């Protein structure tokens, strides 16, 4: 009996756009290595055109996703956690390779990322009550403020935290009904591209999350300048790039979330800050009328 | 049958306008460093009201330094003490509201009925509302101990001079920030009177600084490296310039910009009420309102009926002396704004829309524009897309609610919208689909300090008013930053 070691089947990593897995329209790839420099895969090197295609997909998905019930969005986000749990080993391996972590440390990161989906799944039908509500105006009017999603959000995922950081920036954006075009970590894009496969099997409608890999600056520039993008999260940009992108974003007054000066500890309680960054407040007035001033009717 | 009105002018004697005013910096009125001055005129008569010191870069720097110096003590005051200053200010505004209403009408050109019944009551209410927040900030949902940002640089427009000042200064002070505010060059007086109110209230020096001036002073203020917070209300073009200017800094920014609000009238709306709402929507404050209902979307089946009633109503509007208590339509704020309105109206005609103006006599002096509406307007017309900021209504029609929503949202702006229908579920369905920050259903142009105000898309960032309005002046509660 021969003992030839079985040759493993390698994965072709692809983009995730509009619920499908295309290669870059440019036909370009770039080498992705682990923390020690060992080749892992050839990832798509996305172009401006890929970025624009992703925006079209995200815009197309926005109406349906924003219009879904908060309960439904919560269930879908929870389903992402379920699917991730089933592919935990794969992500532990990918995160360990990407970030140079031991198996146990990588496992802790993946567990935290799964739990983060659960956390945001629970927020979908609560944030409206926390940040919206009735306003006691001085007149005979019913007046209600409700948070609504900003629209299509370009997300520059963190460069270092390739998976927990990634999940921590995507989940709050889509929890509230926005759709996202995500630029994966430039040097460690593989966990993000694999997340696309999880999202595709988690009842997340195609186009709600679109994942691009490549040079952050090259992909971010057309997104920051895009007239059909409503907001941009600059978490994965350095100070110079962030400034340039913020200037470009001013052209249609995108909501801009600036990067932090210090590295984020993604394991801490995220709070509601990322949820509210991509919400608009709509306030609706209506006269209440009057049932007469003759006295108490209670 | 026609009604004749006897003149019913409000007395000017309740307000004493000095021949000249300085900048208000560190609790004192002072001349501009370069000695520059400008004149403010009454738009209804072109009479010079006063000569005002014109702030320049050096004055901005001095004012920011004064605000920075004052910040340490002001932000360290117990919230309850800050609250009492604001309550004092609210009360003094109430006491002096007649004087301030006349002053505002003189400097701005808007009818006394509006300054008396809308602007001034809202100004006092705004200070009263935010006064109450000052010692309750830990309960506002921004963490247990939210911190002020520092010095706020605030630039306000001329359409509601004192009300915009209140929207800016009241939340800034309640949260422990100090302020440098630049009023618009055509309406500096009420802000300078407010400086006097700060002195009467015993507000510590440097907490509020007022710098009348032009756009260059505003740009110097928003660009100043020691300003932590920028709040601007005005045009979308300037808002974009500010957004570029603050890129890469730590400055927090709120922008309240232009609009092209759709006022949607369905076939089941009570026509008379809807007509009043259309009039309020576009002719309140001569249409110089960012949230004006400047596009009327009327369902095709009732378009003729609504337009006939609207025209009939417009012929009864009284245009003239803003100090007359019977006046509905006052003066346009400046020659420059009047020229802009005229140019856009001419463009409307040139592009093929049909113009109708209320038959009213315009006074010989001052800046005036008759209430005007355009029919045969398409979505591609300039007057359906650009903010006119004047008493000009563009009328479009629709057949289905879906078409109304699509047309209403077909704009770079997203500030306001109106819905007129008797059907509750239609109101909620349409309101839900409108991409606008404020939706008035069966009413229009209502404001309240408890009610958040602000736009989607290119109408700006952030909200003013209510609990939401505090956020703009508080440091983020999480370690991550956002603007």
What's the CATH number where A70 sits?
3.40.605.10
| 8 Å CB contact of A256 and B463 | no
The minimum CA-CA distance between A120 and chain B, rounded to whole Å, is 16
Q: Tell me: pLDDT of A78 over 80.
A: yes
- How many degrees, rounded to 5, is the angle at CA B357 between CA B353 and CA B361? 155
For the segment A278-285, the average pLDDT, to the nearest whole number, is 98
Res A296: pLDDT: 56
DSSP for B128-182, written as a single string: HHHHHHTT-GGGTTS-SS--B-SEEEEE--SSSHHHHHHHHHHHHHHTT-EEEEE
Average pLDDT along chain B: 96
Helix (H) / strand (E) element for A116: namely: helix A103-123
Res A289: pLDDT: 82
- Decide if B360 is catalytic: no
Give the total number of structural domains in chain A: 1
**B contact test, residue of A63, A140, A142, A145 with most B CBs within 10 A:** A145
- Find all residues with CB under 8 Å of A10, minimum gap 6, and list them: A41
| 8 Å CB contact of B248 and A242 | yes
Q: Tell me: pLDDT of A2 over 70.
A: no
| Confidence label for B363 from pLDDT (cuts 50, 70 and 90) | very high
- Find all residues with CB under 8 Å of B1, minimum gap 6, and list them: none
Residue carrying the six token digits 């200064």: B169
A 234-253 → B contacts, CB under 8 A: 239, 242-244, 246-247, 249-253
| 8 Å CB contact of B468 and A243 | no
| Confidence label for A108 from pLDDT (cuts 50, 70 and 90) | very high
**Is the CB of B47 inside 8 Å of chain A's CB atoms?**
no
Tokens of B51: 């000569």
| 8 Å CB contact of A253 and B439 | no
Helix (H) / strand (E) element for A276: namely: helix A273-277
**Active-site residue, from B104, B290, B291, B387:** B290
Q: How many CB pairs under 8 A join A and B?
A: 125
Cβ-contact B471, B142 below 8 angstroms: yes
Find chain A residues with C-beta within 8 A of B236's C-beta: 253
Structure confidence by residue, pLDDT tens digits, B34-78: 999 999 999 999 999 999 999 999 999 999 999 999 999 999 999
| 8 Å CB contact of B141 and A287 | no
Give the span between the Cα atoms of B429 and B433, in whole angstroms: 7
Closest Cβ opposite residue B483 in set A247, A256, A274? A256
Q: Tell me: pLDDT of A208 over 60.
A: yes
| Confidence label for B425 from pLDDT (cuts 50, 70 and 90) | very high
Q: Tell me: pLDDT of B359 over 60.
A: yes
Helix (H) / strand (E) element for B398: namely: strand B392-398
Query: Of A289-298, B92-101, B228-237, B307-316, which range is least confident?
Result: A289-298
Question: Which of the 8 DSSP states describes residue B301?
Answer: G
| 8 Å CB contact of B482 and A137 | no
Q: What is the pTM of this model?
A: 0.96
Find chain A residues with C-beta within 8 A of B446's C-beta: 137, 139, 141, 285
Q: Could you give the ipTM of this predicted complex?
A: 0.96
CATH class in words for B262-449: alpha beta
Closest Cβ opposite residue B468 in set A145, A250, A252? A145
- How many degrees, rounded to 5, is the angle at CA A261 between CA A260 and CA A266? 50
Q: Tell me: pLDDT of B462 over 80.
A: yes
For the segment A161-177, the average pLDDT, to the nearest whole number, is 98
Residue carrying the six token digits 């994942």: A211
Q: Tell me: pLDDT of B2 over 80.
A: no
Cβ-contact B264, B297 below 8 angstroms: yes
Tokens of B354: 């049909």
* SS3 of residue B6 by DSSP: coil
- Find all residues with CB under 8 Å of A203, minimum gap 6, and list them: A75, A76, A79
Find chain B residues with C-beta within 8 A of A243's C-beta: 247-248
**Is the CB of A69 inside 8 Å of chain B's CB atoms?**
no
Percentage of chain B lying above the pLDDT 70 cut? 98
The strand pair at B416-420 and B262-265 is best described as parallel
**Active-site residue, from B104, B114, B256, B464:** B256
Q: Tell me: pLDDT of B337 over 90.
A: yes
* SS3 of residue B63 by DSSP: helix
Q: Tell me: pLDDT of B229 over 90.
A: yes
Which residue in A has a C-alpha nearest to residue B125's C-alpha? A138
Structure confidence by residue, pLDDT tens digits, B189-205: 999 999 999 999 999 99
For the segment B279-283, the average pLDDT, to the nearest whole number, is 98
The minimum CA-CA distance between B172 and chain A, rounded to whole Å, is 20
Tokens of A226: 């895009």
Residue A17 in any domain: the answer is no
Find chain B residues with C-beta within 8 A of A270's C-beta: 478
| Confidence label for B392 from pLDDT (cuts 50, 70 and 90) | very high
The minimum CA-CA distance between A282 and chain B, rounded to whole Å, is 4
Average pLDDT along chain A: 96
Closest Cβ opposite residue B438 in set A244, A257, A283? A283
Q: What's the full length of chain B, in residues?
A: 483
Res B1: pLDDT: 61
Closest Cβ opposite residue B427 in set A138, A139, A286? A286
Find chain B residues with C-beta within 8 A of A280's C-beta: 437, 456
Residue A292 in any domain: the answer is no
Q: Tell me: pLDDT of B481 over 60.
A: no
Closest Cβ opposite residue B458 in set A253, A256, A286? A253
Q: Tell me: pLDDT of B480 over 50.
A: no
* SS3 of residue A129 by DSSP: helix
Q: Tell me: pLDDT of A262 over 90.
A: no
Q: What is the CA radius of gyration of chain B?
A: 22
Find chain A residues with C-beta within 8 A of B450's C-beta: 135-138, 143
Res A294: pLDDT: 60
A 257-296 → B contacts, CB under 8 A: 257-258, 260-261, 264, 268, 270-271, 273-274, 277, 280-287
Of the candidates A181, A159, A161, the residue with the CA atom closest to the CA atom of residue A170:
A181
For the segment B309-314, the average pLDDT, to the nearest whole number, is 98
The minimum CA-CA distance between B427 and chain A, rounded to whole Å, is 9
Res B269: pLDDT: 98
Tokens of B352: 């093929």
Q: Tell me: pLDDT of A298 over 70.
A: no
Res A297: pLDDT: 53
Structure confidence by residue, pLDDT tens digits, A216-255: 999 999 999 999 999 999 999 999 999 999 999 999 999 9
Q: Tell me: pLDDT of A142 over 70.
A: yes
The strand pair at B28-30 and B23-25 is best described as antiparallel
Domain span at A251: 29-33+40-287
**Is the CB of B16 inside 8 Å of chain A's CB atoms?**
no
Res B483: pLDDT: 35
**Is the CB of A255 inside 8 Å of chain B's CB atoms?**
yes
Res A3: pLDDT: 80
B 262-301 → A contacts, CB under 8 A: none
| Confidence label for A261 from pLDDT (cuts 50, 70 and 90) | confident
| Confidence label for B294 from pLDDT (cuts 50, 70 and 90) | very high
Find chain A residues with C-beta within 8 A of B477's C-beta: 271, 273
Res B477: pLDDT: 56
Give the span between the Cα atoms of B342 and B331, in whole angstroms: 14
Of the candidates A284, A290, A267, the residue with the CA atom closest to the CA atom of residue A105:
A267
- Decide if B471 is catalytic: no
Q: Looking at the structure, give the CATH architecture of the domain made up of residues B12-257+458-473.
A: 3-Layer(aba) Sandwich (3.40)
Find chain A residues with C-beta within 8 A of B461's C-beta: 253, 255
Res A260: pLDDT: 86
| 8 Å CB contact of B438 and A287 | no
Find chain B residues with C-beta within 8 A of A261's C-beta: 481
Give the span between the Cα atoms of B183 and B54, in whole angstroms: 11
Tokens of B390: 């004047």
Q: What dihedral do alpha carbons B127, B482, B61, A250 form, nearest 10°?
A: -100
For the segment B228-232, the average pLDDT, to the nearest whole number, is 98
The minimum CA-CA distance between A173 and chain B, rounded to whole Å, is 14
Phi, psi of A241 (to 5 degrees): -65, -40
Task: Name B375's bridge partners.
Answer: B354
Which residue in B has a C-alpha nearest to residue A251's C-alpha? B240
Q: Kindly give the residue spans of alpha helices, DSSP state H, lying in B160-296.
A: 161-174, 189-200, 215-223, 236-245, 271-283
First vs last Cα of chain A: how many Å apart? Answer: 90
Q: Tell me: pLDDT of B482 over 70.
A: no
| 8 Å CB contact of B450 and A273 | no
Cβ-contact B55, B159 below 8 angstroms: no
Q: Outline where DSSP puts E strands in chain A.
A: 29-33, 39-44, 133-134, 141-149, 152-156, 179-183, 209-212, 231-233, 255-257, 279-287
Res B4: pLDDT: 79
For the segment B15-41, the average pLDDT, to the nearest whole number, is 98
DSSP for B75-129, written as a single string: HHS-HHHHHHHHHHHHHHHHHTHHHHHHHHHHHH---HHHIIIIIHHHHHHHHHH
Q: Tell me: pLDDT of B446 over 80.
A: yes
Of the candidates A29, A64, A95, the residue with the CA atom closest to the CA atom of residue A203:
A64
Q: Tell me: pLDDT of B142 over 80.
A: yes
């Amino acid at each position: 009996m021969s003992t030839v070691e079985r040759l493993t089947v390698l994965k072709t990593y692809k983009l995730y756009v509009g619920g499908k897995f295309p290669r870059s329209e440019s036909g370009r790839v770039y080498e992705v290595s682990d923390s020690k420099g060992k080749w892992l895969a050839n990832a798509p090197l996305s172009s401006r055109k890929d970025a624009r295609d992703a925006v079209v997909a995200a815009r197309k998905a926005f109406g349906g996703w924003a219009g879904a019930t908060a309960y439904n969005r919560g269930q879908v986000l929870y389903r992402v956690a379920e699917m991730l749990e089933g592919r935990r080993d794969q992500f532990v391996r990918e995160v360990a390779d990407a970030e140079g972590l031991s198996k146990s440390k990588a496992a802790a990161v993946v567990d935290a990322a799964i739990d983060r989906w659960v956390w945001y799944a629970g927020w979908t039908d609560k944030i409206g009550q926390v940040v919206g509500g009735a306003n006691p105006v001085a007149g005979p009017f019913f007046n209600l403020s409700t948070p609504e999603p900003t629209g299509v959000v370009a997300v520059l995922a963190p460069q270092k935290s390739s998976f927990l950081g990634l999940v921590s920036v995507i989940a709050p954006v889509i929890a509230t009904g926005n759709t996202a075009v995500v630029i994966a970590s430039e040097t460690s894009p593989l966990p993000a591209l694999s997340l696309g496969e999880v999202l595709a099997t988690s009842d997340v409608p195609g186009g709600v999350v679109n994942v691009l890999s490549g040079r952050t600056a090259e992909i971010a520039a057309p997104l920051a300048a895009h007239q059909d993008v409503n907001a941009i999260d600059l978490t994965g940009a350095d100070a110079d790039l962030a400034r340039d992108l913020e200037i470009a974003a001013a052209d249609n007054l995108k909501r801009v979330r600036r990067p932090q000066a210090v590295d984020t500890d993604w394991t801490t309680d995220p709070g509601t800050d990322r949820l509210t960054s991509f919400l608009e407040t709509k306030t609706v007035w209506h006269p209440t009328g009057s049932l007469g001033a003759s006295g108490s009717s209670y | 049958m026609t009604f004749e009105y006897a003149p019913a002018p409000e007395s000017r004697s309740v307000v004493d306008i000095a021949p000249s005013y300085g900048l208000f910096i560190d609790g004192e009125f002072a001349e501009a460093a370069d000695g520059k001055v400008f004149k403010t005129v009454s738009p209804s008569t072109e009479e010079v009201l006063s000569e005002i010191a014109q702030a320049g870069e050096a004055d901005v720097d001095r004012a920011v330094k004064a605000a920075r110096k004052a910040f340490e003590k002001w932000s360290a005051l117990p919230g309850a003490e800050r609250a009492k200053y604001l309550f004092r200010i609210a009360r003094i505004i109430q006491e002096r509201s007649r004087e301030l209403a006349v002053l505002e009408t003189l400097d701005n050109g808007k009818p006394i009925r509006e300054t008396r019944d809308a602007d001034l009551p809202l100004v006092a209410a705004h200070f009263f509302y935010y006064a109450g927040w000052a010692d309750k900030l830990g309960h506002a949902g921004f963490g247990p101990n939210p911190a002020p940002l520092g010095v706020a640089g605030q630039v306000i427009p001329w359409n509601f001079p004192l009300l915009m000042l209140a929207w800016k200064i009241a939340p800034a002070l309640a949260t422990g920030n100090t302020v440098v505010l630049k009023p618009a060059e055509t309406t500096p007086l009420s802000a300078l009177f407010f400086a006097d109110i700060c002195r009467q209230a015993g507000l510590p020096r440097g907490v509020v600084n007022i710098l009348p001036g032009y756009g260059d002073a505003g740009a110097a203020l928003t660009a100043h490296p020691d300003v932590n917070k920028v709040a601007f209300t005005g045009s979308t073009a300037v808002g974009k310039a500010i957004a570029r200017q603050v890129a890469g800094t730590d400055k927090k920014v709120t922008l309240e910009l232009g609009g092209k609000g759709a006022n949607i009238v369905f076939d089941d709306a009570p026509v008379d009420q809807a007509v009043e709402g259309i009039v309020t929507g576009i002719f309140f404050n001569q249409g110089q309102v960012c949230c004006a209902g400047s596009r009327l979307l009327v369902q095709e089946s009732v378009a003729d009926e609504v337009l006939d009633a609207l025209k009939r109503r417009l012929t009864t509007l009284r245009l003239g002396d803003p100090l007359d208590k019977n006046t509905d339509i006052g003066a346009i704020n400046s020659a420059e704004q009047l020229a802009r309105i005229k140019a856009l109206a001419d463009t409307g005609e040139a592009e093929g829309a049909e113009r109708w103006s209320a038959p009213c006599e315009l006074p010989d002096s001052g800046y005036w524009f008759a209430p005007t509406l355009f029919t045969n307007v398409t979505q591609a017309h300039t007057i359906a897309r650009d903010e006119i900021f004047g008493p000009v209504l563009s009328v479009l029609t629709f057949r289905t609610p879906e078409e109304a929503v699509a047309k209403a949202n077909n704009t770079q702006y997203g500030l306001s919208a109106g819905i007129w229908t008797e059907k509750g579920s239609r109101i909620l369905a349409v309101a839900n689909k409108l991409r606008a920050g404020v939706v008035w259903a069966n009413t229009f142009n209502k404001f309240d300090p408890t009610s958040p105000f602000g736009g989607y898309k290119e109408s700006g960032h952030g909200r003013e008013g209510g609990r939401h309005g505090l956020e703009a002046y508080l440091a983020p509660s999480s370690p991550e930053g956002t603007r």
